[in-house]
Structure 1
Amino acid sequence: MYDSVLIPTDGSEMVDTTLEHGLRIACDHDATVHALYVVDSRVARAAEDARESVEESLRTEGEGAVEHVRTRAEEAGLEAVGEIRTGTPQKEIVEYAEEAGIDLIAIGTHGKSPREKLLSMGSVTERVVDNAPVPVLVVRD
């Protein structure tokens, strides 16, 4: 039923809670885990003069966040892949799910980074639920 599970990550502590649920489902179905971090282009644009350094910082943060998800999945005996994209998080998550043939998205609520909270960008999770082509497991904080 679930051959591939997408676990988007923003590097927050909420991801560990989401991983507990997403990895359990992936283990039950011997599914491949997909870790996705999106460098939010809106945050980088807002930085104006420091755009490149902010984008580089976010990409570095993303590498660590994706590696964390991949490591946890591999420790659970699962195949794991990771990707970092640049764009609007909810759009990139939905597009990745379509392109990669994802069967389930496991995503947390209240997983916003401090930058996102400061900018009041709204709920990525809510927008993913509204637009995802597959079932979405929402894990509450």
Structure 2
Amino acid sequence: MIPTIDGDAPTDMFDSILVVTNGTDPGSRPAERAVALAETHDAELHALYVVDVAKDWDMAVERREAEGEAAVEFVANRGAERDVPVVKHFRYGRTHEEIVDYAAAHEVDLVVVPSTTRRGLSRMLAPTDLAERVIGRTDVPVLGIDVADATEHGSAEEAGDGANAPTVAD
């Protein structure tokens, strides 16, 4: 949160927050952070899962649909624990394009996405991750939460809030 001059955190910075779930983050740091932000700012929270039809076909799509249902339910359950209502959405298409389109259509104030730090050969083969592709295509602020740390440590709680500070772009 950004402190104000009097030391209080603003509570009306965001009216609508979009968290993108990818079904692969074991600690679900992006979901946890988005729920906390929505609670702090009394914001509407949207959970979005996109089945990337450019990568997945037939049976893989069915598997992705099941992952997506579980992922948005995870966000909804976390929201319910903190009295944050969650609007669940599911889309098909190119992930970054669907996120940008959704954010514009629903006038969200912040997009929270999983982000990974890639090194070596993986960085050369795929030079941008999802957060970078979204940041480059929207005017909405994007909060990229590094999920590599959660994978290494098991969960967001074990990793701590200070580990791998999130990337914010607007």
Q: What TM-score results when the alignment is normalised by the length of structure 2?
A: 0.69
Max Rg structure: 2
Counterpart contact for 1:38–1:84, Cα < 8 Å: yes
Q: 1:42 to 1:122 in 2, by over 3 A?
A: farther
Shift of 1:20: 2.9
- 1:29 aligned partner: 41
Alignment of 1:1-141 (within 5 A): 1-13=13-25, 16-44=28-56, 51-110=57-116, 120=126, 122-141=128-147
User: Identity of aligned pairs, percent?
Assistant: 36
Larger relative contact order, structure 1 or 2 (CA cutoff 8 Å, min sep 6): 1
Instruction: Give the 4+ runs in structure 1 shifted more than 4 A.
Output: 119-122
- 1:116 aligned partner: none
Amino acid at match of 2:17: V
Q: Superposition RMSD on alpha carbons, in Å?
A: 2.3
Shift of 1:64: 0.8
Unaligned runs of 5+ in 1: 45-50, 112-118
Rounded Cα–Cα distance in structure 2 between residues aligned with 1:35 and 1:65: 9
Amino acid at match of 1:59: E
Rounded Cα–Cα distance in structure 1 between residues aligned with 2:55 and 2:89: 19
Q: What TM-score results when the alignment is normalised by the length of structure 1?
A: 0.82
